[in-house]
């Protein structure tokens, strides 16, 4: 356990990493804060479901209530004073932060001297980490597009009308688990890996391990077709003469369809099982149109491919599962 | 009396003057009292009414008009859900994001006074700002940390909106606008990263734009890019950088995106976002819970 704690401190105290350290505190706090209110509402919902008479007359909130209170309050001053207070607090936080920690300024830009590690700003470290597992066009272009479009699609594929405008867990289990998995389980975890674990050469250094800029890593990765010994020596007999020299490419390209297709089918079936696993979720599922189901399945399958690839690479050292002359997956 | 005396020629000039002074004193005292009384009720002054368009807040109507008739406040409704002003529901993250945007605009404009977007000069400007400009270092610090804080606030805002299901009908469209705002916020921060023209920004942007090479169809190393005639001199990366390396043109482009193009885009979307919040029925909650048994199949 005699690690290099100084190294860890250097990373934590790097001014540009302050937001990441702040997120380690803020995100769990707000997750807890949201779920705590969700639990409170869930208890109320359970009570009202059990007692229809009460449900008719209850004000249906967990906030303090009195029948004589007005439902609404004036913006001036009840909201504006909070906004003013928030602005003052943020200003004070900023001033203290700005007076105690200086914005980093490195040496002048120099194309001849490579920064090591050359890292993206913290909010893009998730993407940079993906770059380790996918080819650039997937990690840098396809995945961000999927993330943005996927986020925008959420309101249109979520067919559950419950939980609109109040915290709840029991009425939106699947939605909440999916979002937490995506935002915290994938995006933030990748950001943390990119911040705390990736050292020189963007190599994997466990926390407290010294960042050695001279470290050389030989990670023997292999492709799935190599593990299965696919080399086209059978295919060469079937192919037309003009294609015989490319038997290897053909074999690999065709072979790759199997694992990718299999993954889509298995993952799709798995998600189907999950979204139809309870009577309530089946009720929601029946509300969905075919297009909604298809879009949701595709997004979920793409999302799951990220952690899957992460484990395949780091545990089994598999690089590509599908090789073609134009792209590799 | 004085007039009479004067006519009779019995009163001297001094006496007459004294009388007039006494008269003036009385008048002044009266006016002064009046003025003091008036100042005790600033809401009734002409200045106040000219400023706020309504008089004193003594009835609900005037209170509402205060919000309604104010350019800066009219994005607010006149009344809000009494439980929505609690911190627990909204966490205030949307408002904080916008406030940070204002802080960033203000400090950003100040920073522009000291900055030339050309290589060599840019880096010197930063050094100059930090070492010679009064509070220049703090100015830059505030700008950078506010940018980081804004990204955190935007993420948490999105998180809250998700957890309260506020993207559901009728707010689907505004959620999409919010996603675009999230992207623009991160792009604003990223374009600003290059501007000091130091190693940090240079290599971050080099790594970032190298990915653009691999864009399908429009990147020269991306799938089907070469087949469509893409080279290093005409692909999307070339367009972003204004060249093949992160050099002077890239700095200028980042500067213009950062200071002009992106702020304009984000401002328009801010307007749409706020407007839709109001049009979609104001803040989403906390609304009364709905029961599964009441759900229409």
> How far does the CA of residue A23 sit from the closest CA of chain B (Å)?
8
Strands A72-74 and B79-81: antiparallel
pLDDT of residue B2 exceeding 60: no
Residues B41 and B140 in one domain: no
What's the number of CA atoms in the CB half-sphere (13 Å) around residue B22?
A: 7
CA B138 – CA A295 distance, rounded (Å): 48
Residue B51 shares a structural domain with residue B173? no
**Which residue from A52, A115, A155 is facing B175, i.e. has the nearest CB?**
A155
HSE on the CB side for B180, CA within 13 Å?
16
Q: Is B192 on the interface with A (CB under 8 A)?
A: no
Q: In this structure, are B121 and B238 located in the same domain?
A: yes
> B214 and B179, same structural domain?
yes
Listed by number, the residues of chain B in 74-93 with a beta carbon closer than 8 Å to a beta carbon of chain A are 76-83, 85-89, 91-92
Whether B16 is covered by a domain: the verdict is yes
Tell me: do B209 and B266 sit in the same domain.
yes
- The shares of helix, strand and coil residues in chain B, as percent rounded to the nearest 5, are 65, 0, 30
Between CA A217 and CA A234 the distance in angstroms is 36
The answer on pLDDT for B7 being more than 70 is: no
| pTM, rounded to two decimals | 0.89
Determine the pLDDT at residue B4: 56
**pLDDT greater at residue A225 or residue B161:** B161
Q: Are residues B95 and B46 in the same domain?
A: no
Residue from A88, A119, A121, A285 to probe the interface with B (highest B Cβ count within 10 Å): A121
Q: Percentage helix, strand, coil, to 5, in chain A?
A: 65, 5, 30
Other CB atoms within a 10 A radius of the CB of residue A158 amount to: 23
Provide the pLDDT for residue B13.
86
For residue B155, tell me if it sits in a domain.
Answer: yes
Helix (H, G, I), strand (E, B) or coil at A198: strand
Note whether B215 and B275 are same-domain residues: yes
Residue B278 and residue B170 share a domain: yes
Res B6 pLDDT > 70: no
Residue B219, in any domain of the structure: yes
Domain extent at residue B25: 12-68
- The answer on pLDDT for B5 being more than 60 is no
Mean pLDDT of chain B: 89
- The minimal CB distance from B288 to the residues A61, A142, A152 is found for A61
Main-chain dihedrals φ then ψ at residue A74, nearest 5 degrees: -70, 140
Contact residues for B94 (Cβ-Cβ < 8 A; gap 6+):
B157
Integer Cα distance of B111 and B190 in angstroms:
17
In this structure, the answer to whether residues B63 and B115 fall within a common structural domain is no
Same domain, B260 and B204: yes
B37 has a chain A CB within 8 A of its CB:
no
ipTM of the complex as predicted: 0.92
Tens of pLDDT along B86-142? 889 999 999 999 999 999 999 999 999 999 999 889 999 999 999 999 999 999 999
Q: Which residues of chain A does B156 touch, with a Cβ-Cβ cutoff of 8 Å?
A: 26-27, 30
pLDDT digits over B233-281, tens only? 888 888 888 888 888 899 999 999 999 999 999 999 999 999 999 999 8
For chain B, the straight-line distance linking the first and the last C-alpha, in angstroms and rounded, comes to 97
Q: Residue A221: what pLDDT?
A: 78
Q: Within a 10 A sphere around the Cβ of A33, how many other Cβ atoms?
A: 16
Angle (nearest 5°) at CA B120 between B115 and B125: 30
Chain A hits for B215, CB-CB cut-off 8 Å, are 137, 140-141
Q: What pLDDT, on the 0 to 100 scale, is given for residue A290?
A: 94
Q: Is residue B3 part of a domain?
A: no
Asked whether residue B63 falls in the same domain as residue B95, the answer is no
Show residues of chain A in contact with B85, CB under 8 Å.
Answer: 73, 78-79, 82
pLDDT of residue B9: 58
Residue B269 placed within a domain: yes
Residue B145 in any domain: the answer is yes
Token pair 């936080």 is at which residue?
A93
Q: How many domains does chain B have?
A: 2
Q: Split chain A (329 residues) into runs of 10 and give each run's mean pLDDT.
A: 79 90 96 96 93 88 86 86 95 96 90 84 91 86 93 95 93 95 94 90 83 78 79 76 80 87 94 92 92 94 92 84 77
Classify residue A200 by its DSSP letter. G
Task: Give the CATH number of the domain where residue B234 resides.
Answer: 1.20.810.10
Is residue B75 assigned to a domain? no
pLDDT score, position A302 = 93
Backbone phi, psi, residue B83, to 5°:
-85, -15
The residues that bridge with A74 in the sheet, in sequence order, are: B79
Q: What totals of helices (H) and strands (E) does chain A contain, helices first?
A: 14, 1
CA distance A4 to A212: 12
> Is B134 a member of any domain?
yes
Tokens of B111: 């920073």
User: Is B121 found in the same domain as B31?
Assistant: no
pLDDT (0 to 100) of residue B10: 62
């Amino acid at each position: 356990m005699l690690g290099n704690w100084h190294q860890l401190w250097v990373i934590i105290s790097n001014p540009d990493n302050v937001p990441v350290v702040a997120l380690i505190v803020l995100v769990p706090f707000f997750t807890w804060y949201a779920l705590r209110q969700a639990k409170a509402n869930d208890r109320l919902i359970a009570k009202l479901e059990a007692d229809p008479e009460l449900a008719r007359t209850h004000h249906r909130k967990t906030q303090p209530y009195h029948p004589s209170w007005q439902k609404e309050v004036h913006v001036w001053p009840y909201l504006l004073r909070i906004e003013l207070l928030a602005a003052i607090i943020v200003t004070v936080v900023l001033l203290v932060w700005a007076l105690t920690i200086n914005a980093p300024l490195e040496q002048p830009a120099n194309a001849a001297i490579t920064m090591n590690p050359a890292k993206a700003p913290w909010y893009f470290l998730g993407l940079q980490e993906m770059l380790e597992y996918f080819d650039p066009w997937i990690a840098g272009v396809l995945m961000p597009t999927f993330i943005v479009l996927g986020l925008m699609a959420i309101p249109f594929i979520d067919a559950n009308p419950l939980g609109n405008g109040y915290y709840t867990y029991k009425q939106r289990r699947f939605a909440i688990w999916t979002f937490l998995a995506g935002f915290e389980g994938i995006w933030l975890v990748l950001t943390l890996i990119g911040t705390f674990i990736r050292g020189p050469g963007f190599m994997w250094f466990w926390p407290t391990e010294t960042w050695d800029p001279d470290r050389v890593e030989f990670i023997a990765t292999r492709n799935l077709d190599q593990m299965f010994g696919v080399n086209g020596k059978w295919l060469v007999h079937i192919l037309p003469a003009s294609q015989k020299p490319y038997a290897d490419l053909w074999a690999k390209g065709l072979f790759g369809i199997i694992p990718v297709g299999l993954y889509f089918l298995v993952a799709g079936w798995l998600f189907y099982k999950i979204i139809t696993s309870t009577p309530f979720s089946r009720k929601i599922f029946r509300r969905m149109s075919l297009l909604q189901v298809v879009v949701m399945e595709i997004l979920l399958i793409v999302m799951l491919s990220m952690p899957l690839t992460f484990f395949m690479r780091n545990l089994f050292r598999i690089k590509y599962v599908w090789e073609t002359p134009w792209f590799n997956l | 009396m004085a007039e009479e005396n004067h006519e009779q020629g019995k009163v001297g000039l001094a006496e007459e003057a004294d009388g007039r002074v006494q008269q003036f004193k009385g008048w002044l005292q009266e006016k002064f009292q009046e003025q003091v009384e008036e100042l005790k009720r600033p809401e009734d002054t002409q200045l106040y009414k000219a400023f706020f368009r309504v008089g004193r807040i003594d009835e609900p109507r005037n209170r509402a008009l205060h919000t309604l008739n104010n350019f800066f406040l009219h994005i607010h409704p006149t009344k809000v859900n009494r439980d929505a002003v609690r911190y627990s529901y909204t966490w205030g993250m949307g408002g904080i994001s916008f406030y940070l945007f204002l802080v960033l605009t203000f400090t950003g404009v100040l920073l522009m006074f000291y900055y030339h977007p050309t290589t060599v000069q840019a880096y010197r400007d930063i050094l100059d700002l930090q070492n010679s400009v009064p509070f220049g270092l703090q100015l830059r610090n505030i700008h950078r940390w506010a940018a980081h804080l804004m990204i955190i606030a935007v993420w948490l805002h999105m998180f809250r909106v998700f957890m309260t299901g506020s993207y559901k009908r009728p707010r689907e469209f505004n959620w999409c606008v919010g996603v675009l705002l999230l992207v623009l916020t991160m792009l604003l921060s990223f374009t600003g990263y290059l501007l000091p023209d130091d190693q940090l920004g240079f290599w971050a942007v080099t790594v970032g734009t190298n990915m653009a090479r691999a864009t399908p169809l429009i990147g020269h190393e991306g799938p089907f890019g070469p087949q469509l005639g893409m080279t290093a001199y005409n692909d999307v990366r070339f367009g972003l950088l204004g060249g093949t390396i992160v050099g002077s043109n890239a700095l200028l482009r980042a500067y213009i995106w950062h200071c002009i193009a992106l702020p304009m885009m984000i401002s328009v979307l801010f307007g749409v976002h706020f407007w839709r919040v109001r049009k979609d029925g104001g803040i989403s909650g906390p609304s009364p819970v709905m029961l599964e048994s009441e759900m229409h199949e």
